[in-house]
Amino acid sequence: MSSYQGVIVSDPWLQSQFTQVELRTLKSKFINVRTQHGRVTLGDLPPVFSKLKAFTEMFNEDEIKTVLGESNSDMGEEIDFEGFLRAYLNLQTHAIEKSGGTKSSFLKATTTTFHHAINESEKASYVAHINNYLAEDKFLKDFLPIDPTTDALFDLAKNGVLLCKLINVAVPGTIDERAINTKKVLNPWERNENHTLCLNSAKAIGCTVVNIGTQDLAEGRIQVLADLNLKKTPQLVELVDDSQDVEELLSLAPEKVLLKWMNFHLKKVGYEKQVTNFSTDLKDGEAYAYLLNALAPEHSTPSTLDTSDPTERAKMVLQQAEKLECKRFLTPKDIVEGSPNLNLAFVAQIFHNRNGLSTESKNMSYAEMMTDDVETSREERCFRLWINSLGISTYVNNLFEDVRNGWVMLEVLDKLFPGTVNWKQANKPPIKMPFKKVENCNQVINIGKDLNFSLVNVAGNDVVAGNKKLIVAFLWQLMRFSMLQLLKNLRSYSHGKEITDADILNWANNKVKKSGRTTQMESFKDKSLSNGVFFLELLTAVEPRVVDWNLVTKGETDEDKKSNATYIISVARKIGCSIFLLPEDVIEVNQKMILTLTASIMYFCLQQQGEGPDDSDLASEVSRLSVDGSVSDAAPSPQAED
């Protein structure tokens, strides 16, 4: 029997309205109020709910009090945890009405905030996507094809299996499918495990999981935009004139790259307008007609441009695209109405099937020289995904380019340590003057020094210059410091004392030893960790039922080590750990990544046993290593490891 069963609610319907992540966070809020006042009343809720990200931009305290008072005139009435949850759902309903949206059980399974209206055309497109890519899946084939005119999509998504499978369609191998609960009938805890695995895995491939809506079918979005970068498609350098422009291209979001590619071809065939979006600029279908004529003249026909009916033109555009083997996931109506998401997917599909770019560009050799060594690439990926998981306003596409103006790092510092950034002295992008970038980066370095980071002979100029080694060193210290602060904030464990690497190491060894197993690790660079057995034993000690030992190998061969490492990452995400390492990091015993993995498991375990961190943000997942918890008493940080 498991030592951890999650938060249990006696009402099955009420239980089904929340993920386990939400329940744990709300339970922490409820307990905090009860601890302060001895009991919880409706009158206690407005100041609590007003600080939750789901409501903070929608209601103030007085408005929340009014909403809650409409359903119960006695604000002094004591409520239990289920009453607390019902009050939350009541306020959520008003938030949805206020925003003009509708609630969806499908989105409920993948979000921690309120929900958005469902566009039927997009729903039909997503259904076609699922029916096409998952038709032969062993588990899902009995439920496919889905009828887009019904709610079958939402019903199928409830158990979390579909969402996990979609992540693997987007980025194959992200989730070890052995970790997915795939019984025909899942209990609430098994469903919540799947949802948690999905959320943490989505973050690990760069998806935004805060305020997620139909406009962000994140897994599909990642899939259609996956190759829109120089590493995957070096031919993109044809879009720019010189090496400086190549650097700018590196920093563009995939959507911007796609628009740049489209305008590049449109200009060559004499289309005079500039396409700046995937909605209004494409409604009349003319840009599509010119683009397809440029890319596939063998399939072009004058009638596409001759017709004055936009719907008829859109119909001919889709017929022409089908000859390029572009699958039809949108309709002529979607083009004419300017559906931005479906148009984005359609343009991306055209790009993948025929990009019309040459391998003879003069800048090709420059692009090929820009590839990083393996370790730097993995660290860039880890820190980029970690930053994007924090929910800051800027989305990082290329770490080493996007941090050079200092703004992203200031946002991260402000998110982790509110009040440390002097925004009056910060320069907001776009920044043309180099010295303005240096000012931002100098402030970043000064805050780092205040946090006692090791920054000897490091200045803002080094960041502006894109010094990769120094950028990685700073971000590692930042991640590590915030991770240790989160563990420190679990006061039932730390009693306010500083947490060190040695504390994490000792905790892990003691946890495994107390479970009756004998494997131990000497340090975070102990080469014996490469077989993965220690971490599987640690996960079992934390959550006995989560590891299926019939799937575990001894880790004696490279293949067995890879199998164990992949399983470790998915199991850790399944119980609630938000981690960004790769199987190779376990196999090669990457000291930094091994520390973050161990600390994440430790944080999850201790959070279940004692009080949660001081975190007023519902959208902050319980597992996150370094996010929205406020660090008001920034203590000295241990120096970064070599």
> What is residue 244's predicted lDDT score, i.e. its pLDDT?
57
Q: What phi and psi values does residue 241 have, to the nearest 5 degrees?
A: -100, -30
Mean pLDDT for 231-237 is 76
Which tens digits make up the pLDDT trace of 424-450? 999 999 888 989 999 999 999 999 999
Residues of the chain with CATH 1.10.238: 12-99
Q: Is the pLDDT of residue 368 over 60?
A: no
Q: Please report which confidence band the pLDDT of residue 281 belongs to, taking 50, 70 and 90 as the band edges.
A: very high
> What is residue 223's predicted lDDT score, i.e. its pLDDT?
56
> What is residue 91's predicted lDDT score, i.e. its pLDDT?
85
> What is residue 190's predicted lDDT score, i.e. its pLDDT?
84
Which tens digits make up the pLDDT trace of 570-588? 999 998 898 999 999 999 9
CB crowding 363-382: b at 16 or more within 10 Å, else e: beebbeeeeeeeeeebbbbb
Q: Is the pLDDT of residue 541 over 90?
A: yes
Residues of the chain with CATH 1.10.418.10: 120-219, 236-353, 373-490, 501-610
Say which range, 259-268, 470-479, 602-611, has the weakest mean pLDDT: 602-611
364 vs 8, higher pLDDT: 8
Contact status, residue 425 vs residue 439, Cβ threshold 8 Å: yes
Mean pLDDT for 187-205 is 85
Mean pLDDT for 269-288 is 91
Q: Please report which confidence band the pLDDT of residue 236 belongs to, taking 50, 70 and 90 as the band edges.
A: confident
Say which range, 126-130, 324-328, 421-425, has the weakest mean pLDDT: 324-328
Range with top average pLDDT, 100-104, 455-459, 566-570: 566-570
Mean pLDDT for 355-369 is 61
Tokens encoding 203: 């973050």
Q: Is the pLDDT of residue 394 over 70?
A: yes
> What is residue 516's predicted lDDT score, i.e. its pLDDT?
92
Q: Please report which confidence band the pLDDT of residue 373 belongs to, taking 50, 70 and 90 as the band edges.
A: low
| Domain made up of 373-490: CATH architecture | Orthogonal Bundle (1.10)
Q: Which residues contact 175 (CB under 8 A, 6 or more apart)?
A: 164, 167, 168, 197, 201, 570, 573
What three-state secondary structure class fits 624? strand
Q: Is the pTM of this model over 0.85?
A: no
Which tens digits make up the pLDDT trace of 58-86? 788 888 888 888 777 778 888 888 888 88
- Domain at 501-610, CATH homologous superfamily: Calponin-like domain (1.10.418.10)
What three-state secondary structure class fits 41? strand
> What is residue 246's predicted lDDT score, i.e. its pLDDT?
67
Which tens digits make up the pLDDT trace of 29-62? 888 788 777 888 888 888 888 888 778 777 888 8
Say which range, 60-64, 281-285, 554-558, 600-604, has the weakest mean pLDDT: 60-64
Which tens digits make up the pLDDT trace of 510-533? 999 999 998 999 999 999 999 999
Q: Is the pLDDT of residue 454 over 90?
A: yes
120-219: CATH topology is Actin-binding Protein, T-fimbrin; domain 1 (1.10.418)
Q: Is the pLDDT of residue 629 over 50?
A: no
What Cα–Cα distance (Å) separates residue 123 from each residue in 109, 213, 224, 266, 276? 16, 12, 17, 30, 25
Q: Which residues contact 527 (CB under 8 A, 6 or more apart)?
A: 589
Q: What is the CATH number of domain 12-99?
A: 1.10.238
> What is residue 620's predicted lDDT score, i.e. its pLDDT?
34
Give the Cα separation of 167 and 160 in Å (integer).
11
Q: Is the pLDDT of residue 202 over 90?
A: no
366 vs 552, higher pLDDT: 552
Q: Which residues contact 511 (CB under 8 A, 6 or more apart)?
A: 538, 541, 542, 605
Range with top average pLDDT, 275-289, 336-350, 488-502: 275-289
Between the CA atoms of 163, 166, 167 and 170, what dihedral angle is there, to the nearest 10 degrees?
-160
> What is residue 61's predicted lDDT score, i.e. its pLDDT?
85
Q: Please report which confidence band the pLDDT of residue 227 belongs to, taking 50, 70 and 90 as the band edges.
A: low
Q: Is the pLDDT of residue 290 over 50?
A: yes
Say yes or no: domain 236-353 is CATH 1.10.240.10. Answer: no
Range with top average pLDDT, 3-7, 103-107, 350-354: 350-354
Give the Cα separation of 527 and 589 in Å (integer).
6
Q: Please report which confidence band the pLDDT of residue 212 belongs to, taking 50, 70 and 90 as the band edges.
A: very low
Tokens encoding 286: 């003319």
> What is residue 209's predicted lDDT score, i.e. its pLDDT?
60
Q: Among residues of the chain, what percentage have pLDDT more than 70? A: 79
Q: Which residues contact 297 (CB under 8 A, 6 or more apart)?
A: none
Which tens digits make up the pLDDT trace of 484-510? 888 887 755 666 678 899 999 999 999
Q: Is the pLDDT of residue 120 over 70?
A: yes
Mean pLDDT for 297-318 is 89
Tokens encoding 638: 């241990």
Q: What phi and psi values does residue 458 have, to the nearest 5 degrees?
A: -105, 135
